[in-house]
Copies of this chain bind each other. A is one copy, B any other.
Amino acid sequence: MAAERSPRAGRTRTRVTRLPELQRHDRAELDAILDAGVVAHVAIVDAGQPYAIPMAYVRDGDRLLLHGSTASRLLRTLADGAPACVTITHVDGLVVARSAFESSLHYRSAMLLGHCRAVDDPLDALARFTDGLLPGRWQEVRPARAKELAATRVVELPIEEWSVKVSADDPEDPEADRALDIWAGVLPVEVRYGQPRPAADLRPGIPVPLSVERLAGGDVGP
C-alpha cells in the first residue's frame, strides 16, 4: 500500500508510481479523507534522521492547521518552514484473497508536501481547530486567555502539493485461484465514537453538551 514519491522534484513528487490505478486526483476526495481524520503523521528531518510524529490536525479550507506548545521544538521547526510531509490514513478493512500474495488492505490515504508557516490569527485558528474536531465546542468552552494563546503555536500547511490513494475493491485473484475452495472477501474495519464518559471531577447536574451529543455513537468523520 506504499504511496510512493516520484524520483523527480516538483509536482511529480506526488505522482503515485506503485499501483497508479489507486491514485485519485479529485480535490473533493482529498477533502473527504482529511475531514474524516483526527490525527496526521507529520514527517520532518533532523540531522538526516526522518521522524514521523502524530499530531492532531484540522482542515480549514485550503490549509491544514496543526498546533502545539510554543515550547515544542517540533512546532518551531515546522513554523520555520522546514520541508514537511503530512499523511493521513484511514484503514477500512482487510482484503482477504485466496492467496497471501493478493491479500491486502482497504484504505484511504492522503499525503501533503510543503512548508508550514505560523498563522496570522492564532485565536481564530484555535477556534477553527476546536470546532474542527468537535463542531460547536468553541461556543461551549470557557473563553481562551491571553496567556494560553501565548503558550500555543498554530501553524498552517497550504494544501497545494498532494496525492491521494484509495483501495476499496474486492480481492483480485487470478482466474485459476477463483476456482479454488478458498473464501475471499473483505473484513471491514469500523471506527466510531462511543458514548461520552464524564470526568471524575465533573459537578453533578451538568448535561452532555450538544457538541459531544451530536458525535456520540456515530462514525468518526464529518
Chain A interface (Cβ < 8 Å from any Cβ of B)? 1-5, 7, 9, 13, 17-18, 38-39, 41-56, 68-69, 71-75, 83-87, 89, 91, 93-94, 96-101, 103-105, 107, 109, 111, 113, 126-127, 129-130, 133-134, 137-138, 140-142, 144-145, 148, 151-152, 170-171, 173, 177-203, 206-209, 211-212, 215-216, 220
- Residues of B with C-beta under 8 A to A85: 43, 49-52
CB distance from A157 to the nearest CB of B (A): 13
Whether B190 pairs with A87 at a CB distance below 8 angstroms is: no
Question: CA of A44 to CA of B138 in the docked complex: distance in angstroms?
Answer: 37
Question: CA of A60 to CA of B190 in the docked complex: distance in angstroms?
Answer: 26
Which residue of the partner chain B has the closest CB to A48? B83
CB distance from A168 to the nearest CB of B (A): 12
Question: With A52-B43, A148-B99 given, is the CB distance from A183 to B195 under 8 Å?
Answer: no
- Residues of B with C-beta under 8 A to A195: 188
- Residues of B with C-beta under 8 A to A198: 183-185
Question: With A13-B49, A18-B68 given, is the CB distance from A182 to B105 under 8 Å?
Answer: no
Chain A's interface: helix, strand, loop or mixed, by majority? mixed
- Residues of B with C-beta under 8 A to A188: 193-197
Question: CA of A72 to CA of B2 in the docked complex: distance in angstroms?
Answer: 8
> What are the 5 closest A-B residue pairs judged by CB atoms, nearest first?
A41-B41, A43-B52, A43-B50, A188-B194, A54-B89
Whether B46 pairs with A52 at a CB distance below 8 angstroms is: no
Question: With A52-B43, A94-B134, A113-B49 given, is the CB distance from A7 to B185 under 8 Å?
Answer: no
Question: CA of A173 to CA of B211 in the docked complex: distance in angstroms?
Answer: 19
CB distance from A76 to the nearest CB of B (A): 10
- Residues of B with C-beta under 8 A to A197: 185-188
Question: With A41-B52, A48-B83 given, is the CB distance from A215 to B191 under 8 Å?
Answer: no
Whether A170 pairs with B87 at a CB distance below 8 angstroms is: no
Which residue of the partner chain B has the closest CB to A104? B56
Question: With A18-B68, A54-B87 given, is the CB distance from A7 to B73 under 8 Å?
Answer: yes
